[in-house]
Amino acid sequence: MQKATEVKDLIKDYGGFRALKGISFEVNQEEIFGLIGPNAAGKTTALRVISTLLQITSGEVKVFGCDVIKEADKVRKRISYLPEEAGAYKNLSGRAYLKFMASFYSKNNEEEREIMERGIELAKLGKRLKNKVSTYSKGMSRRLLVARALMINPELAILDEPTSGLDVIISQEIRKIIKDFVKKGTTVLLSSHNMLEVEFLCDRIALINKGAIVETGTPQELKEKYNAKNIEEVFINAIR
């Protein structure tokens, strides 16, 4: 089976600073893969490269066999990217926002309606969808944005810190949305600094620190390898 994402010896420099130091990892189709590490580890830079938003210094990145630099247009048609600091149009209602975004991905009114209805189902905001986004809590806004990222049925959904700053209940709801959606055939690549959370969400993970991958595997494999109780302990032991 073709890999959803292949990253080989990826280096990304910002002037004299090397943000990514030759990282390599692969994402299988129909899995949730987590790029896990502390803030400023290089997670967001890697996701932006895969999303075709950043040029690379050297190395190779492919999405479903398409090179993210040479075939960027093909890649963009198969992915959806949700940045950590993404926002919705605050003067629109939640419903109007989903309709507006659906219009970019639809060929006709019927397809637009199908995409929007899928977004409404994913967001699970009920009657609050009639209210302006400016009245939403951070958790409600994030649910709306996750719905926006998934409602187009991307082959690969790239989610940067999808539950960052959210309380436990909302985080659980978003994790459930993601897990349920993968069952329908979408692959998810996400980043997170919350190592305990992704242990329950991801099929496989890559631990990244200071721009370098230090370990890759299933959470269970890594815990057994390091005789650790959780992924936080694995990470601490792996970077020693």
Closest CA to 182 of 159, 150, 207: 150
pLDDT digits (tens, 9 = 90+) for 49-93: 999 999 999 999 999 999 999 999 999 999 999 998 877 788 999
Please give the model's pTM, rounded to 2 decimal places: 0.94
pLDDT at position 200, please? 85
Q: What is the rounded radius of gyration, in angstroms, for the C-alpha atoms of the chain?
A: 18
Query: Do 21 and 45 form a contact (C-beta atoms < 8 A)?
Result: no
Structural domains in the chain (count): 2
Same domain, 103 and 116: yes
Q: Are residues 165 and 73 in the same domain?
A: yes
Same domain, 10 and 126: no
Whether 170 and 65 share a structural domain: yes
- What is the SS3 assignment for 163? coil
- Over 90: is that where the pLDDT of 95 sits? yes
Which of residues 122, 153, 184 is at a domain's end? 153
Of the candidates 153, 188, 208, which is a domain's last residue? 153
In angstroms, the first-to-last Cα distance of the chain is 36
Looking at the fold, whether 186 and 199 belong to one and the same domain comes out as yes
Residue 103 structural domain = 87-153
Q: Is residue 217 located within the same domain as residue 198?
A: yes
Residue 239 belongs to a domain with what CATH number?
Answer: 3.40.50.300
Task: For residue range 110-138, list pLDDT tens digits in order.
Answer: 999 999 999 999 999 999 999 999 999 98
Q: Are residues 212 and 183 in the same domain?
A: yes
* Most distant pair of Cα atoms in the chain: their distance: 56
Q: Is the pLDDT of residue 202 over 80?
A: yes
Query: Do residues 56 and 120 both lie within one domain?
Result: no
Average pLDDT over residues 179-189: 92
* Angle at 70 (CA atoms; ends 43, 27), nearest 5 degrees: 40
Based on the domain organization, do 149 and 164 belong to the same domain?
Answer: no
- pLDDT at residue 110, as a whole number: 94
Domain final residue pick, 129, 153, 177: 153
The two tokens of residue 78 are 């198969």
Check whether residue 162 and residue 49 sit in a common domain: yes
Tell me what the pLDDT averaged over the chain comes to.
94
What's the pLDDT at 197? 81
**Same domain, yes or no: 236 and 161:** yes
The token duo for 215 is: 């370990």
Mean pLDDT calculated for residue range 107-111: 93
∠ CA 203-117-163, rounded to 5°: 35
pLDDT tens digit string along 131-172?
999 999 988 999 999 999 999 999 999 999 998 888 888 888
Do 186 and 233 share a structural domain? Answer: yes
For residue 114, what pLDDT is reported?
96
